[in-house]
Structure 1
């Protein structure tokens, strides 16, 4: 390292890069810069307002946190300008709404479906097979009935990846694991269970969507922020980052939040084994469609899951129920839909908006007459939305990450760490904060998870 404080270069001004920058300015560290390819901050957590005045997030984001530091930061940025909501999540299938999570509320389905799910659950009590992929895990833990009716079709719609190509180490609080006694009690006694999960209550900014938070963080890093500055190459031997405009940025320590495969692709002198390991990283993209309707929403629902393949989206969020300022004037509705895409599940971007509107009508979220009330539509199609927890992922990370760390490079964030299980906004921001604490103070990381063989656990001091 150079004499005095280390020179820190941060690639990307999403939640991780901004989290790192915020922590650096909080500590009074001076020698650092954030290089951001876009002309805005926030990455996938940003928000956009169209010419009609409707505000959109890039998918259904809610704010809940596992970390006191992040909670305090959010409170500082939002003040009193937020709404606090009780989650109302539903599943639409068999032409009806059932409470989420599906597996705890099957009593509302057709009797044959209920029987399939319960009998499959009984089968799991006799299972001794150790699963090797997500498909086998679902069958072993939830049974073939729940697998066939919900888990497999829904997860294919989310991940655009067959379940047998995914691992199951990411499950944690992401999936409500089946409790046989709870399911049978709910079926027999006719009860619903709706409070599962870490986000059963959540806050949302009153104005500006989730991007409001990251625009707020921008104020604290503005003097160290370089927008529209895409990275062209990284030279670990010289400890330099070269940007597309020809400028060179020397560093002592590099935090990259760009997608891990892109980082390896633009880094010089990468060993062949590390380059080959990138082939084990898989992802899916998405089409996010917003539909603004000139009528009041007739429900207090927050979001709805759609497992059935004939419906073109896997989730719809009533974004206008989150804040009255999402729409330009009262009495309007904004629906935000999500459709995944990949080589396993290609989607035609030229027809997706029309297919979404047809799907909203078919599922009853829009009336036929609402077609005439649509005042705006919005389409955002990120190439990379979900880092897929593939069966090959951990071995790849176990090869790539140790080499990067040996070169003084931290790769963190949703696609930098390539760990969906720590890919929420709070996880991502805290990875940036903890990077700073480790580099400056030697504090161990608690958010980032070492996956695969041989991953360094403490890092470079």
Structure 2
């Protein structure tokens, strides 16, 4: 079977990684598969690439935090791709200035739930389901403990981010390093860059 993937983004790279695993395990269905990944850019990653500007700064173009719960081999693959990682404490400050039509409203009080009455109607109507695994689910006891605290106690409280309290980020090369390095570990004949 011949497979052509359009775009060398995380999904195609993940497929290529899994195909190589299956071939190495001797899975019959994978043995005769041929893969060609066509990418219009000179490097892998698609919209999840990292680019370097003229001053040497790295810019992640797409998502810079990824979630490994969706596929059992995802974390294994990313760990294999990048040798050195930074483990960072989550610190979420969001500039929502573009949501407001009034000039001068540029600071959102935190926690953000106290600012909900200020949100535009379209934002208020959004479902909370989209946050899914991106927000830690607090046990009832923890929620009650936090609700019982006064303002001073809340300043130093553990809000229970749980598994989302920290995230890993490549020490060198930005998120794009994950995809670039993974591709370098896969058969080079599977990838064709600068292809439109």
Normalising by structure 1, we get a TM-score of 0.33
Q: Is 2:17 the partner of 1:22? A: yes
- Structure 1: gaps of 5 or more residues: 1-5, 104-116, 118-145, 157-161, 231-461
Alignment partner, residue 47 of structure 1:
50
Residue aligned with 1:24, SS:
helix
Q: Given the superposition, is the C-alpha separation of residues 42 and 169 from structure 1 closer, same or farther in structure 2, using an over 3 Å criterion? A: same
Distance 2:108 2:40 in 1: 44
1:216, distance to aligned residue in structure 2 (A): 0.8
Alignment partner, residue 192 of structure 2:
226
Residue aligned with 2:169, SS:
strand
Aligned 8 A contact 1:8 1:32 in 2: yes
Aligned 8 A contact 2:64 2:175 in 1: yes
> CA-to-partner distance for each residue in 1:285-329, whole Å, 9 max, x for gaps?
xxxxxxxxxxxxxxxxxxxxxxxxxxxxxxxxxxxxxxxxxxxxx
Aligned residue among 8, 13, 28 for 2:8: 13
Q: Is 2:169 the partner of 1:204? A: yes
Which runs of structure 2 are paired with 1:129-168 in the superposition (5 Å)? 146-149=115-118, 152-153=119-120, 162-163=122-123, 166=126, 168=128
Residue aligned with 2:76, SS:
helix
1:68, distance to aligned residue in structure 2 (A): 4.2
Distance 2:163 2:189 in 1: 36
Residue aligned with 1:89, SS:
coil
Distance 2:116 2:136 in 1: 13
Distance 2:162 2:11 in 1: 24
Aligned 8 A contact 2:135 2:164 in 1: no
Larger relative contact order (CA 8 Å, sep ≥ 6): 2
- Structure 2: gaps of 5 or more residues: 24-29, 96-104
Alignment partner, residue 153 of structure 2:
190
Residue aligned with 2:93, SS:
strand
Aligned 8 A contact 2:2 2:34 in 1: yes
Q: Given the superposition, is the C-alpha separation of residues 206 and 96 from structure 1 closer, same or farther in structure 2, using an over 3 Å criterion? A: same
Q: Given the superposition, is the C-alpha separation of residues 176 and 147 from structure 1 closer, same or farther in structure 2, using an over 3 Å criterion? A: farther
Q: In angstroms, what is the RMSD of aligned CA positions? A: 3.3
Distance 1:43 1:198 in 2: 28
1:82, distance to aligned residue in structure 2 (A): 1.6
Alignment partner, residue 134 of structure 2:
174
1:49, distance to aligned residue in structure 2 (A): 0.8
Aligned residue among 105, 112, 137 for 1:102: 112
1:225, distance to aligned residue in structure 2 (A): 1.3
Normalising by structure 2, we get a TM-score of 0.69
1:91, distance to aligned residue in structure 2 (A): 5.4
Aligned 8 A contact 1:84 1:204 in 2: yes
Q: Given the superposition, is the C-alpha separation of residues 217 and 166 from structure 1 closer, same or farther in structure 2, using an over 3 Å criterion? A: same
Q: Given the superposition, is the C-alpha separation of residues 91 and 11 from structure 1 closer, same or farther in structure 2, using an over 3 Å criterion? A: closer
1:26, distance to aligned residue in structure 2 (A): 2.4
1:171, distance to aligned residue in structure 2 (A): 3.5
Q: Given the superposition, is the C-alpha separation of residues 228 and 197 from structure 1 closer, same or farther in structure 2, using an over 3 Å criterion? A: farther
Q: Given the superposition, is the C-alpha separation of residues 148 and 172 from structure 1 closer, same or farther in structure 2, using an over 3 Å criterion? A: same
